Amino acid sequence: MKKIFLALILALPSAAAAYDRGELAEFNDQYRNGQYEEALEGYKLIIAKEPANQWAWYNAGNALFRLNRIGPAVFNYARAFMLDPRSPDIRANLDFALRQTGQSLVPEGAPAALHYLYYLVSETELKASAILLFWLACLAGAAAFLLDGGRGGAAAGRVSLAAAGLLVFTAVWLGARQSSPFSSSGVVIKAGGTRMLSGPGEKFKTYASAPEGRLVRILDTGDEAYYEIGLQKEGIKGWALKTEIERL
C-alpha cells in the first residue's frame, strides 16, 4: 500500500506543482503539460540562482524521474532532502527513487522514528545552531563574570552552562551525521552505472561496478579525472570517472 501511495505521488503531474512559488510557477505549468525537458531547464536556472531552494531541486527530481533518468533524479531528491529533511514530500520521493535502485532512505532494521529524529534538522541548521550556542555561552559567561555576586550573574551563569551543554549535544549530533550516507558522498548519474577501476586511469583493471542511482562514499578527490569511491554495503572501493558521479 505504501509503495502504491508513493507511486501515485510521483505519477501525478501536480507533484511538481505542489510548491508554486515565484518563478517555479511558470516551469510547473510546463511540467503539468508534459514538457518535462523544458520544465527541467527552468528548474536548473532557479537552482543556479538559488542553490538553497529545496523545491527547485525537488521539482527537478520529479522531471528527471519522468524522463527516466533515475541517477540524476536521486541526486536532485538527495540535494532537496539535505536542505529540508523534514519535508514529507521530499522524503517520500527520495525513498521511492532509491527503492528503484535497490536502496532505501531508512536503513533496513532501523526504526523509522529514530531515523526521522536523526535527520530532524539539516547540517546547515546544526552548524548555525552550534555557532549561536557558542556565542550565547561566551556572552552569558562574560555577563556572569561581570555580574559576579548578583542575582543577574547567577542567572547568566545558568544560561551559559545550559548553552554550553546544548553546544556539546549539537556537536555530537553533527559528528554523528558525518557517517550519514549523504555526507562526503555522491550519486552515480551515468545511465547503466559506472565502472570501478583498481586505480585512477584506463590502464587499471575494472573489477566492480556501481549501478545508476547508487549512493557512494567519495574517499579521494585528488585525481583530476577520477574519484575514489566506496560501496559501504559491499565493503569495496575503486576509482570512477568524476563525470559519472555527481557529488552531493
Domain boundaries, the chain: 2-106, 123-179, 185-247
- What superfamily would CATH give domain 2-106? Tetratricopeptide repeat domain (1.25.40.10)
pLDDT at residue 83 in the model:
95
pLDDT beyond 80 at 27: yes
pLDDT at residue 22 in the model:
66
Q: Of 47-56, 62-71, 78-87, 137-146, where does mean pLDDT reach its minimum? A: 137-146
* Torsion, CA 141, CA 143, CA 147, CA 150, rounded to 10: -80
Quick one: pLDDT band at residue 15, thresholds 50, 70, 90? very low
Grid cell of 22 as nine digits = 515565484
The residue with greater pLDDT, 140 or 43, is 43
pLDDT at residue 156 in the model:
85
pLDDT at residue 234 in the model:
87
Sign for the CA dihedral angle at 70, 76, 82, 85 comes to negative
CATH of domain 185-247: 2.30.30.40
What percent of the chain stands above pLDDT 70? 90
Do domains 2-106 and 185-247 share one topology? The answer is: no
- Spatial distance between the Cα atoms of 90 and 7, rounded to a whole number of angstroms: 13
Q: Of 14-23, 67-76, 167-176, where does mean pLDDT reach its minimum? A: 14-23
pLDDT beyond 70 at 66: yes
What percent of the chain stands above pLDDT 90? 67
CB 213 within 8 A of CB 101: yes
- If you average pLDDT over residues 98-109, what whole number do you get? 91
The residue with greater pLDDT, 82 or 180, is 82
Quick one: pLDDT band at residue 5, thresholds 50, 70, 90? very low
CB 85 within 8 A of CB 122: yes
pLDDT at residue 106 in the model:
92
Q: Of 44-58, 113-127, 141-155, where does mean pLDDT reach its minimum? A: 141-155
pLDDT at residue 60 in the model:
96
Nearest CA among 213, 232, 217, 211 for reference residue 182: 217
Nearest CA among 84, 70, 97 for reference residue 7: 97
pLDDT beyond 80 at 13: no
**What pTM, to 2 d.p., does this model score?**
0.86
How far lies 156's CA from each of 79, 115, 130, 150, in Å?
40, 35, 19, 10
Q: What is the mean pLDDT of the chain?
A: 88
pLDDT beyond 90 at 233: no
**Judging by DSSP bridges, how do beta strands 215-220 and 226-231 pair with one another?**
antiparallel
Scan for cell 559491499, then name that residue.
234
The enclosing H or E element of 82 equals helix 70-83
